[in-house]
Amino acid sequence: MGAYESLWFAAMLDVKDPLQLAADTIRCLSIDAVQKAESGHPGLPMGMADAAVVLWTEFLKWSPLDPNWPGRDRFVLSAGHGSMLLYSLLHLSGYDVSLADIQQFRQLHSKTPGHPEVGETPGVETTTGPLGAGLSNGVGMAIAALMEAAQCDNPLLATRVFGIVSDGDLMEGISHEAASLAGHLKLSNLVYLYDDNGITIEGHTEIAYSEDTKKRFEAYGWFVQSCDGHNMHQVRRALTAAIDEPTRPSLICCKTTIGKGSPNKANTHEVHGAPLGADEIRLTKAALGMSQEAFHVDPRAKAVFETAAAKNEHLRRQWQQAMQAYEQAHPAKHAAWQSFRARTVPQNLYAELHKAAGDAPSVATRVLSGNVIQRAAELVPSLVGGSADLDPSTKTRIKKSPSFTAKERAGRNFHFGIREHGMGGILNGMALHGGFLPMGSTFLVFADYMRPAIRLASLMKLPVTFVFTHDSLMVGEDGPTHEPVEHLASLRIIPNLHVFRPADAMETAAAWTHALTRRDGPVCLSLTRQNLPLLQRAVAFDPGLVLRGGYVLRESSAAKATMIATGAEVSLALDAAATLGKSGIDVRVVSMPCCELFLRQSADYRSAVLGTLPVFALEMGRPELWCQFTGRIDRVIGQSTFGASAPCKQLAEHFGFTADHVAARVRAAL
């Protein structure tokens, strides 16, 4: 650039409105980072920069000095592909995201991965990318804020959730589920800016999307406004009205131009997910009146955010002073709140839950789980949750608490309706908010409806409990549509997910103990519809062994084989072992309620449990994963076909899940 051009650009910057300069700085940082990475999505950051600057500098409460400040507002970039918008905002706001970090966009171990990842970047509230997931997380955060404030009787905790959603977010089914429930619950602390740019990867949205979004959200019970997303005054006015709305969540439809500022690619799908190219970047910066220097940040743009940071720091200190006054006025409530935020559980939790489970001789593990939940709710205030319209079957209702509704914010029970995917995303949002240990329940066969949310919970290491009942062919007359066959296997292959399938009261108590004490990921509980017998153990049995994931339930010095089983099939394995014993074949029986926990144990422990004899595995589901223990598929007694509609005893006989059939399989293999 020549001297004349440099002076011209400097003059342009001097007369540019500081907020507009900040927005254009975000545009330039975004296109530079995507260009350097040779990968990324510049269109959304360029299109939403104006609205984002107004939100972050005038409305959102945040603190780079204390990114996890409980009194902060949450910001959710549901359209996670536009991550450079968020990274640019964090850098300009003073978070620990440097220009060097911006320049490492989408590189290994950087603070600026391709989509926002919670825990990797300070200021990022949730991992987004799968469209619609962030929207549902925000609903969960909004619920959590209102519930926390009500339970603690402290309005200082009633924080807000702001977010940006895209056309893609609103097309995904999860957005319908979450938005419908948010409207029903009247979550007035939830505000979303809709990037209404009319473009997706394939072209203009009209090729697949023609509904009236405004009417749709109004039908959900939302307060809906429209504005020019590039007119900061209109955005400001809409945000002000949204915050003042007392009874409804808000959607602000911001009409924007994707790739705003690019002379040749704005308003095209070409700018959605690809670098602009060096020539177009040069033309774009010239059109915006910005410096051609890569990753340039004008001090005046930074000053806009420094002013906002100073205002927010003042608000944070005011909040802290108010919390100190709350502590002095209500020391017991404040102590309870601190315990809640720490997700404290009592040291004797396992023993208490085992006692609560009961010792009935014949009971379904879903019923045992329901018993455990009642005591767990008394001992662990963080535990909240509900079901996808199935509490009479899944037994997850906390009986001593009301439900969370539009009028009752302190209730610990949720009625998610028939919205499994939305339920999963909302549970994740509640866990992300902090303090809560949320649970959600449905039938195991419907885990498929919420698998993306379970995967994200595992990726984000969230302490969420997914309670799945009716976990095998023994659902019976409901037939193959409701009989899970592949589901346990498919859940077990999700990294960092622990699947616990208990066989009796002790194992159910252990499952819930693990779920309520794990802090680095979610737990799935797989529970029976049918009654199971109470397992007999040695008098000196150590209950702690159950928490190791697998243990020897029946030992024999004369054994010729070891049989692993889970859940309902543990008692079947014991019966089969007794049948084999009558023909002179002794069998060891190992209960393995949680493979993931067992595989975490030392090699010596695993070897002691599995032994050196031939190993068989028994479970009413896909057999392949059990080969890691048996070494051979023919030593796994499982189910590879869909089920059938019939009384469960007939199904057990038909599919070979009886003591005689199992014994015959083992005898033949030996």
Say if CB 571 and CB 579 are below 8 A apart. Answer: no
Please indicate, yes or no, whether residues 294 and 156 belong to a single structural domain of this protein. Answer: yes
pLDDT at 14 over 80: no
Check which CATH number belongs to the domain holding 621 and give it: 3.40.50.920
User: What pLDDT was estimated at residue 498?
Assistant: 98
> Residue type at 309?
A
Q: In this structure, is residue 339 part of a structural domain?
A: no
Q: In this structure, is residue 341 part of a structural domain?
A: no
pLDDT at 524 over 60: yes
Q: How far apart are CA 497 and CA 502, in angstroms?
A: 16
Q: At a CB cut-off of 8 Å and minimum separation 6, what does 623 contact?
A: 617, 633, 636, 637, 638, 639, 640
DSSP characters over 383-448: EEEEESS-HHHH----TTS-B--SS-SS--EEE--S-HHHHHHHHHHHHHHSS-EEEEEEEGGGGG
Final residue belonging to a domain, choices 533, 560, 589: 533
Classified as helix, coil or strand, 19 is helix
**pLDDT tens across 561-587, in order?**
999 999 999 999 999 999 999 999 999
Q: In this structure, is residue 538 part of a structural domain?
A: no
Q: How far apart are CA 516 and CA 458, in angstroms?
A: 15
Say if CB 292 and CB 282 are below 8 A apart. Answer: yes
* Mean pLDDT for the chain overall: 96
Please indicate, yes or no, whether residues 278 and 391 belong to a single structural domain of this protein. Answer: no
Final residue belonging to a domain, choices 271, 299, 314: 314
CA 582 to chain centre: 50
Tracing tokens 């339970």 back to the chain, one arrives at 151
Please indicate, yes or no, whether residues 462 and 555 belong to a single structural domain of this protein. Answer: no
Say if CB 582 and CB 609 are below 8 A apart. Answer: no
Q: How far apart are CA 148 and CA 146, in angstroms?
A: 6
**pLDDT tens across 180-212, in order?**
999 999 999 999 999 999 988 888 989 999 999
Burial class (CB in 10 A: 0-12, 13-18, 19+), 376: buried
Q: In this structure, is residue 464 part of a structural domain?
A: yes
Closest by Cα among 35, 58, 61, 38 to 46: 35
pLDDT at 11 over 80: no
User: What pLDDT was estimated at residue 4?
Assistant: 47
Q: How far apart are CA 663 and CA 658, in angstroms?
A: 8
Q: In this structure, is residue 541 part of a structural domain?
A: no
Share of the chain above pLDDT 70, in %: 98
User: What pLDDT was estimated at residue 201?
Assistant: 87
Please indicate, yes or no, whether residues 426 and 560 belong to a single structural domain of this protein. Answer: no
Check which CATH number belongs to the domain holding 290 and give it: 3.40.50.970
Say if CB 80 and CB 128 are below 8 A apart. Answer: yes
Please indicate, yes or no, whether residues 498 and 580 belong to a single structural domain of this protein. Answer: no
Neighbours of 544 (CB within 10 A): 10
Q: In this structure, is residue 601 part of a structural domain?
A: yes
For the CA atoms of 296, 301, 307, 308, what is the dihedral angle to 10 degrees? Answer: -90
User: What pLDDT was estimated at residue 475?
Assistant: 96
**pLDDT tens across 267-322, in order?**
999 999 999 999 999 999 999 999 999 999 999 999 999 999 999 999 999 999 99
pLDDT at 126 over 50: yes
Please indicate, yes or no, whether residues 310 and 367 belong to a single structural domain of this protein. Answer: no
> Residue type at 166?
S
User: What pLDDT was estimated at residue 10?
Assistant: 54
User: What pLDDT was estimated at residue 9?
Assistant: 56
Neighbours of 7 (CB within 10 A): 10
The count of structural domains within the chain is 3
Which strand ranges, in their side-by-side order, compose the sheet holding 223-228?
A: 74-77, 161-166, 190-196, 250-255, 223-228
As given in the structure block, the two tokens for residue 53 are: 């600057």
**pLDDT tens across 130-183, in order?**
999 999 999 999 999 999 999 999 999 999 999 999 999 999 999 999 999 999
As given in the structure block, the two tokens for residue 40 are: 């990324």
Please indicate, yes or no, whether residues 111 and 232 belong to a single structural domain of this protein. Answer: yes
> Residue type at 303?
A
Q: At a CB cut-off of 8 Å and minimum separation 6, what does 259 contact?
A: 42, 43, 46, 47, 265, 266, 267, 268, 271, 272, 276
Please indicate, yes or no, whether residues 282 and 390 belong to a single structural domain of this protein. Answer: no
Label the pairing between strands 587-591 and 551-554.
Answer: antiparallel
Give the mean pLDDT of 456-470.
98
Q: How far apart are CA 216 and CA 214, in angstroms?
A: 5
Q: Which domain holds residue 405?
A: 349-533
pLDDT at 124 over 60: yes
Final residue belonging to a domain, choices 498, 533, 568: 533
**pLDDT tens across 405-438, in order?**
999 999 999 999 999 999 999 999 999 999 999 9
For the CA atoms of 627, 633, 636, 637, what is the dihedral angle to 10 degrees? Answer: 150
For the entire predicted model, the pTM comes to: 0.97
**pLDDT tens across 344-384, in order?**
999 999 999 999 999 899 999 999 999 999 999 999 999 99
Please indicate, yes or no, whether residues 594 and 510 belong to a single structural domain of this protein. Answer: no
Residue 5: pLDDT band by 50, 70, 90 thresholds? low
Length of the chain: 670
Please indicate, yes or no, whether residues 526 and 555 belong to a single structural domain of this protein. Answer: no
Please indicate, yes or no, whether residues 382 and 259 belong to a single structural domain of this protein. Answer: no
Q: How far apart are CA 451 and CA 459, in angstroms?
A: 12
Give the mean pLDDT of 475-490.
97
Residues classed as catalytic: 420
User: What pLDDT was estimated at residue 7?
Assistant: 47
pLDDT at 227 over 80: yes
For the CA atoms of 75, 79, 80, 84, what is the dihedral angle to 10 degrees? Answer: -80
Please indicate, yes or no, whether residues 507 and 573 belong to a single structural domain of this protein. Answer: no
User: What pLDDT was estimated at residue 539?
Assistant: 87
Share of the chain above pLDDT 90, in %: 96
Q: How far apart are CA 150 and CA 254, in angstroms?
A: 33
Q: In this structure, is residue 319 part of a structural domain?
A: no
Q: In this structure, is residue 334 part of a structural domain?
A: no
User: What pLDDT was estimated at residue 15?
Assistant: 72
Q: What is the 3-state secondary structure (H, E, C) of 113-165?
A: CCCCCCCCCCCCCCCCCCCCHHHHHHHHHHHHHHHHHHHHCCHHHCCCEEEEE
